[in-house]
Amino acid sequence: MGENADLPAEDIRDAYKPRLIDNKVKRLLSIHGGVLITGPKWCGKSWTGMMHSKSAISMANDVSRRLAQLDPQSALSGERPRLIDEWQELPGLWDSARLKIDASRKKGLFLFTGSYLPSDKATAHSGAGRFALLKMRTMSLFEYGYSNGAVSLSGLFDGKAFETTYSSLNYSKAVRLICRGGWPDAMQMSDEDSVEIPKAYLEILYDHDSSRVDGRKRSPEKMKKIVMSIARNTATCATLRSIASDMAGKGGRGPSENTVADYLGALKRLFLLEEQSGWSPNLRSATRMRSSPKRHLTDPSLAAAAICNGPGELERDPNTAGLLFESLCYRDLCIYVADLGGEVCYYSDNSGLEVDFVIQLKDGRWGAIEAKMGTSEFEKATRNLNRLRDKMVSGGLREPSFLMILNVTGQIAIRREDGIIEAPIDCLGP
């Protein structure tokens, strides 16, 4: 199966580390004819797919793909649920599976996984009503075992208390976690060895993957410069023009904005670029909110690998480390919020008020979070959170479910007398 084609099913089950997405996969297979899991390469989709399937075939395997081209129905035949790994390598299987779902009217027939989105013309039908879509990311600190999960995000929305908990995190360890990333294959590796995974990922991206999504040839050098620019501007609203200028360097000539947009589009199709939306609540006031997205690479280790030689170099650059810590927080929050049906946004308005994360649930509940590496920034974070709460409530919104300072060096997870929660990232969980 993909990179795990030679691993027997029983070995996969013994080695598998449970993921937060597992319960949702199981539930959606009981509701829909098929489930599509998308996400970046090496994030664990194949392993998760194997855990929830009874038979499998991988389109990343040349022999299997050639046989499926000759006889598509044979690729879909097998005990259900049937896993079609890396389906985008033979997009016609999507339409064939949809027709089988329509004909049988049964649930849990197929589980598709994909590491990039094929062109819009590759399939005749979107799969709406037949397939449920799940987005998978790399592993959160909680899934990895680096967070005790004492501060439950779902619990905070439900008004539940949490026990005061001590953290084992410090600045140096946090930097190592950023550089290590959430790659399943790195779980048993040392910090020194684990940083080689994102480096290898980027080399494959530059030399090969960026052209796979649509067959368009792209310059490895330009892709490398764009990824480096995104990494340098992590968690900011950098414009296409500023990215092009950043790529050019002093006195150089950068690509056009259309070229930048094309390369960013390829990164999104590869599930390597995350866009964090600006929060736009319905308020009675005339406050204007910023809506352009903040950009993050899908795992903070990719950004670290693009611009640093390792944890030592990043540790000496606290400003960059702080931005990459914000990306780490964004990754984990997105994973934890997925089961709640919520969205992780940021807030910025014309008064200069900015807050790193606003989590909005479909029922209207919301919470706000500032990500700060050091305790010296807690006072500013407190002012921002209180200003946001006062502005939202006066504008007609309900009180927030919680206000939080997510940090690295706070040493303890606690709810302060003013109600604001201080939580080290290694105490946060779903």
Q: Output the tens digit of pLDDT for each of the chain's 430 residues.
A: 444 444 456 666 778 999 999 999 999 999 999 999 999 999 999 999 999 999 999 999 999 999 999 999 999 999 999 999 999 999 999 999 999 999 998 999 999 999 998 865 555 455 666 899 999 999 999 999 999 999 999 999 999 999 999 999 999 999 999 999 999 999 999 999 999 999 999 999 998 877 777 778 899 999 999 999 999 999 999 999 999 999 987 767 789 999 999 999 999 999 999 999 999 887 776 677 778 999 999 999 999 999 999 999 999 999 999 999 999 999 999 999 998 989 999 999 999 999 999 999 999 999 999 999 999 999 999 999 999 999 999 999 999 999 999 999 999 999 999 999 999 999 999 9
On whether both 178 and 291 belong to a single domain, the answer is yes
**What's the structural domain count of the chain?**
2
Looking at residue 120, which CATH number applies to its domain?
3.40.50.300
On whether both 126 and 147 belong to a single domain, the answer is no
**How far does the chain reach from its first CA to its final CA, in angstroms?**
29
360 Cβ contact partners less than 8 Å away, ≥ 6 residues apart = 279, 281, 342, 343, 345, 366
Return the structure tokens found at 243. 């990215």
On whether both 94 and 20 belong to a single domain, the answer is yes
On whether both 165 and 281 belong to a single domain, the answer is yes
Instruction: In whole angstroms, give the CA distance from residue 385 to residue 368.
Output: 7
Beta bridge partners of 92: none
On whether both 28 and 125 belong to a single domain, the answer is yes
Residues 377, 344: contact at Cβ < 8 Å?
no
On whether both 131 and 149 belong to a single domain, the answer is no
Instruction: In whole angstroms, give the CA distance from residue 22 to residue 161.
Output: 26
Instruction: Fill in the DSSP letter of residue 278.
Output: B
- How crowded is residue 413: how many other Cβ atoms within 10 Å of its Cβ? 24
On whether both 148 and 32 belong to a single domain, the answer is no
On whether both 91 and 149 belong to a single domain, the answer is no
On whether both 166 and 27 belong to a single domain, the answer is no
Return the structure tokens found at 177. 């976690």
Task: Give the residue ranges of DSSP H helices in 9-91.
Answer: 9-15, 22-29, 45-51, 62-70, 72-76
On whether both 405 and 339 belong to a single domain, the answer is yes
Closest Cα to residue 405, out of 393, 394, 383, 392? 383
Residues 321, 175: contact at Cβ < 8 Å?
yes
Q: State the residue range of the domain holding 40.
A: 2-135
On whether both 276 and 257 belong to a single domain, the answer is yes
Instruction: In whole angstroms, give the CA distance from residue 298 to residue 227.
Output: 11
Closest Cα to residue 290, out of 368, 201, 355, 223? 355
On whether both 228 and 326 belong to a single domain, the answer is yes
Dihedral sign from CA coordinates of 85, 89, 91, 92: negative
